[in-house]
Amino acid sequence: MHNVSYHSPTERMQVWLDASTLHLRFNNPARHNDLSVEMWEAIPALLDHANVDERVRLVVFSGAGEKAFVSGADISQFEDMRAAREAVNRYEQMAESALMSIYRCSKPTLACIRGYCIGGGVNVAISCDLRIATSDSVFSIPAARLGLGYRYSALKTLVDLIGIGAAKDLFLTARKIDAGEALSIGLIGRVCPPEALDSLLSEYTSALAANAPLTVRAGKAIIAEMLKPSSEFDVVLCQDLIRGCFESEDYAEGRRAFMEKRSPVFTGK
């Protein structure tokens, strides 16, 4: 499917395709990009398009302005959205649907973080495959200071990423950590000065544009299978994905390019 066009249903979520990179930007800098209902609702449909768009090799999430990636949920909406039990369930289902659509996206996803990455912002970031951040970024999960219930899926994603000890430290204390500590516990993968963020991001967009899409997709899917309980592990799926790589035109191109000492040109077929 080639001719997918991207239109955000809300000005709070900006979306554009730059070559092979789809950008989704949280856009409410006046409120430090806190997550509104409109933002949550926009994400699944946009990623559904990306999943079937052969042009897209990487999906990048970022925050508008220089102060924040995402500073948490929009608590001004809580009285309306979370006051009644039914509203709580609706809000939680909406957030869960958005985060799972990121986590299960067949294309690689990257969180490009500058500034505050708090609460729901951490959830978005850890649902992505890759995380880069500026050295002035700040991270925290303040649920324990707000008294709200925290979803199993979000905690499991956090524990899978940084381990039980670090996850308990962050969650139970609700303390803020800087980019250096976030890097040391594995919450993020790379750190750079603020002025170097565009350059660091381009490393990733260039790499994913050049690498073999079928191999990338297979690796991501197999790692996802590893994180499931052994009873749910799909061995046949993993074998099919690996076989698909070896039987692809891209594998033949990769071999030719290696022998001819040139860069391969992969098409995802």
pLDDT at 35 over 90: no
In the chain, count of helices (H) and strands (E)?
A: 12, 10
What percent of the chain clears pLDDT 90, i.e. is strictly above it? 76
Tokens of 156: 């499991």
Which residue would you say has higher pLDDT here, 145 or 83?
Answer: 145
Average pLDDT rounded to a whole number, residues 87-114? 91
Confidence band of 20 (pLDDT split at 50, 70, 90): very high
| pLDDT-derived band at 37, boundaries 50, 70, 90 | confident
Domain 13-208 carries which CATH code? 3.90.226.10
Domain ranges of the chain: 13-208, 212-259
CA atoms within 13 A on the CB side of 178: 4
For the segment 193-207, what is each residue's pLDDT rounded down to a tens digit?
Answer: 999 999 999 999 999
For residue 252, give Cα distances in angstroms to 54, 206, 248, 263, 266: 19, 22, 7, 13, 10
**Residue 43 pLDDT greater than 60, yes or no:** yes
Instruction: Tell me which amino acid residue 19 is.
Output: A
Mean pLDDT of the chain: 92
pLDDT at 81: 60
pLDDT reported for residue 89: 77
Judge whether residue 1 has pLDDT over 60.
no
Angle at 63 between CA 62 and CA 64, to 5 degrees: 125
pLDDT in tens, 124-137: 999 999 999 999 99
pLDDT of residue 225 exceeding 70, the answer is yes
Q: How far is CA 16 from CA 23, 50, 95, 97, 267, in A?
A: 5, 11, 22, 22, 21
